[in-house]
Amino acid sequence: MTDAVRSPLDKRSVDRLYLPALLLLTLATGIVDAVSYLALDRVFTGNMTGNVLFIGFALTGEGGIPLLNNLIALLGFLIGAFLAARILRRRSHDSRLPTANLVVLLGGAVLTLALAVFWIAVGTLDEATMVPVTAVLAVVMGAQAASVRATGIADVSTIVVTSTLANLAIDSHLAGGTGDKWRRRVLAVVAMGGGGAIGALIIRATDHGAVPLFVAGAVMLCCVALLHLARRRETAPRPAR
């Protein structure tokens, strides 16, 4: 009879446990940003690089970009990341992902679903309502960014793919690199773009931003469940060798 012991997995094996959930969460972010840009008056709640540029455009008065919405999104994202970091600092767990991180992600999924239900109930958002909805979504995205850092998979931050694309090119065989981690990097880019496409298609079909937002919240809930399973598998006893 073989004894079961808690034998630590190597980093690559642990990465594989968390990657599906993080890629799915990246897809959800793409949907959220599609909703933000197409239904909340040209603003990103996850992609802060785009928001900083929009703020610059708005300050010049070019392109009709709204300044207030983009400033609110930027501040909301920073507040979400700050609050989550304060809550999660020095939390520990036998797995990479402490329970508190999972709870924050669960809270973000629930908030996203609640916003979608509110939007459906209200019908059409006026400008005064768009601002708080934008702020809450940005807080959720900022908290998500802070929470997933504990997984240690920098190439799948779930909110941005700029550095992922850069690393894909820098480490490619064509650039003289090893080509390591190219699959996860390509999948992260595809997930973000795919989420954006899904969100845009749903908005086109329903003429409403609440429906894709509800889909994004549901996907986030699935991601929380997958992350919980990944934690259990990471810490599960394995037969001694």
pLDDT digits (tens, 9 = 90+) for 103-145: 999 999 999 999 999 999 999 898 889 999 999 999 999 999 9
Cβ distance 14 to 234 under 8 Å? yes
Whether 3 maps to a domain, the answer reads no
Tokens describing residue 169: 């090119």
Read off the CATH number of the domain in which 226 is found: 1.20.1250.20
Whether 60 maps to a domain, the answer reads yes
The pLDDT-based confidence of 240 (bands split at 50, 70, 90) is low
Whether 1 maps to a domain, the answer reads no
Whether 134 maps to a domain, the answer reads yes
- CA neighbor of 39 nearest in space, from 145, 119, 150: 119
Q: How many domains does the chain have?
A: 1
Give pLDDT tens digits for 177-193: 787 888 888 999 999 99
Which domain, by its residues, includes 172?
13-234
pTM here is 0.91
